[in-house]
Amino acid sequence: MAANMKAVKLRIKSVQNTMQITKAMELVASSKLRKAKDRADRCLPYFTELRNTLGEIAAGNTDFASVYTRDPIPDSDKFLYILVAGDRGLAGGYNSNLFKRFEMHRQGKDFCVIPVGKKALEYVKKHKYEIVTEEFAEVATLGVGDCFEIARIACDEFSNLRVDHVQVCYTRFISMLSQKAGLMRLLPLEDLKPTGTPNAPVTDLILYEPSSEEVFEAIVPEYLAGLVYGSVCESLASELAARRNAMESATSNAEEMIEKLNLNYNRARQASITQEITEIVAGAEN
């Protein structure tokens, strides 16, 4: 009986130590989450304006053509995926849900990958997929400059006809309790193709120097960098929210376990005391 009580007491101590860790991780994730979400919200207006400018150029120039709006090459349909995952685990189904969504979309396709984050790099290497670059293995340290470099690589692969589609696979932050893995098309910019009659008169009075085509070509990499940066920020916020929820659930489960273990310990202690009293009484009667 004493040995059983000691084992229960050691188990309670172990669960309490684990609960302290999960509680600390929950608080850290909550603190970082606010900063990550604020960063994503602050950059949105700038890149929305870039998007509007691209739309205005395309709508106001019905006779221009851009490599970024080209159709896929016949007999070639290769995809480039920018796969944005986390650096660590302990975040519930954050990474596994992302990889499942990626696998669903890439089935039957010729593709290559730019992994962003340690888990993404590990996953791609494990499955021996074609990797464009391994430079962005830590998503937590990724800045705007890194996102511009990712966009530059994607634009270079697309403009040099090595890939026909560029997609970013990331996790959308919907709310503190909901995050959804999804894909967003970066190239080609199909919705920005001119739809009017070539050489038709336009009402756009904005003059671009040196030309609207060159301005368009210069803005596209910046615009894509903004989309990548927004995806990274949303993914970071989603990872932190998922980790916070997972650690909150783990802390709650630990508290329940401690309650049950305390109840078992008290029962064992009560049984031990009852047994000792019984033995004393029996000895006195003898």
CATH code, domain carrying 156? 3.40.1380.10
16 & 34 share domain: no
Residue 113 reports pLDDT greater than 60: yes
So what's the pLDDT on residue 274?
Answer: 82
167 & 120 share domain: yes
Longest dimension (CA), the chain: 117
So what's the pLDDT on residue 103?
Answer: 95
Residue 201 reports pLDDT greater than 60: no
Q: Which residues have a Cβ under 8 Å from the Cβ of 236 and sit 6 or more positions away? A: 36, 139, 140
Mean pLDDT calculated for residue range 179-196 = 76
15 & 137 share domain: no
* Helix count and strand count (H, E) for the chain: 5, 4
Long-range contacts (CB closer than 8 Å, 24 or more residues apart) made by 266-270 = 268/1, 268/4, 268/5, 268/8, 269/5
13 membership: H or E segment, kind and range:
helix 2-60
18: domain range? 2-22+246-285
Do 230 and 44 contact (CB within 8 A), yes or no? yes
97 & 213 share domain: yes
Residue 98 reports pLDDT greater than 90: yes
* Out of 111-120, 218-227, 254-263, least confident range: 218-227
So what's the pLDDT on residue 200?
Answer: 45
Say how far apart CA 281 and CA 158 lie, in whole Å. Answer: 90
Mean pLDDT calculated for residue range 107-122 = 94
Highest mean pLDDT among 153-157, 216-220, 265-269: 153-157
Cα dist. 256→17, 22, 110, 190, 262 in Å? 14, 14, 49, 54, 10
231 & 273 share domain: no
Omega into 188 within 30° of 0, i.e. cis?
yes
168 & 94 share domain: yes
So what's the pLDDT on residue 42?
Answer: 78
Mean pLDDT calculated for residue range 158-173 = 91
CB atoms within 10 A of CB 43: 16
94 & 177 share domain: yes
So what's the pLDDT on residue 268?
Answer: 80
Say how far apart CA 133 and CA 116 lie, in whole Å. Answer: 10
Q: What's this model's pTM, rounded to 2 decimal places?
A: 0.79
92 & 209 share domain: yes
191 & 88 share domain: yes
Mean pLDDT calculated for residue range 214-228 = 82
Residue 81 reports pLDDT greater than 90: yes
What CATH number corresponds to the domain at position 6?
1.10.287.80
201 & 267 share domain: no
Mean pLDDT calculated for residue range 136-143 = 87
Mean pLDDT calculated for residue range 165-181 = 89
CA dihedral 29, 104, 129, 182 (to 10 degrees): -40
Residue 213 reports pLDDT greater than 80: no
Say how far apart CA 261 and CA 176 lie, in whole Å. Answer: 32
* Out of 11-25, 140-154, 184-198, 202-216, least confident range: 202-216
Tally the domains of the chain. 2
232 & 270 share domain: no
35 & 85 share domain: yes
DSSP, collapsed to helix, strand or coil, labels residue 138 as coil
